[in-house]
Amino acid sequence: QVQLVESGGGLVQAGGSLRLSCAASGRTFSSYSMGWFRQAPGKGRERVAAIRRNGRSTYYAVSVKGRFTISRDNAKNTVYLQMNSLKPEDTAVYYCAAAQDDYGQAYNYWGQGTQVTVSS
């Protein structure tokens, strides 16, 4: 089992940047693929980025590709989401999640979320 705690959210102007972090408990972090999701008010949860166990393969939603970068440090049990060129439509609660499979087919563990607000 793994527990996830996100941090780094906040209020930023359009065009700005934020870096989200997700710290995982336990000694088996490297055995999980990781994902970042977001949910805006009145909308469904969207997977915006994912990274495989070894960090060599990543996935991005079309809406964030070229602006967001996911990375992980298995020695620090942490996954990051660097968000650049932020837009008001990026406003949402951002969650990190862990999947026991390497392709992110089923995310079993979730953090509590961190709010990102982008003002125009």
* Mode of pairing for the β-strands spanning 45-51 and 33-39: antiparallel
The average pLDDT across 48-61 equals: 96
Q: Give residue 113's pLDDT.
A: 97
| Mean per-residue pLDDT over the chain, rounded | 96
Q: Give residue 101's pLDDT.
A: 87
Map residue 88 onto helix, strand or coil: helix
CA distance 65 to 112: 24
The average pLDDT across 33-39 equals: 98
DSSP 20-57: EEEEE-SS-GGGSEEEEEEE-TTS-EEEEEEE-TTSS-
pLDDT at 104 over 90: no
pLDDT at 27 over 80: no
What distance, in Å, lies between the first and last C-alpha atoms of the chain? 40
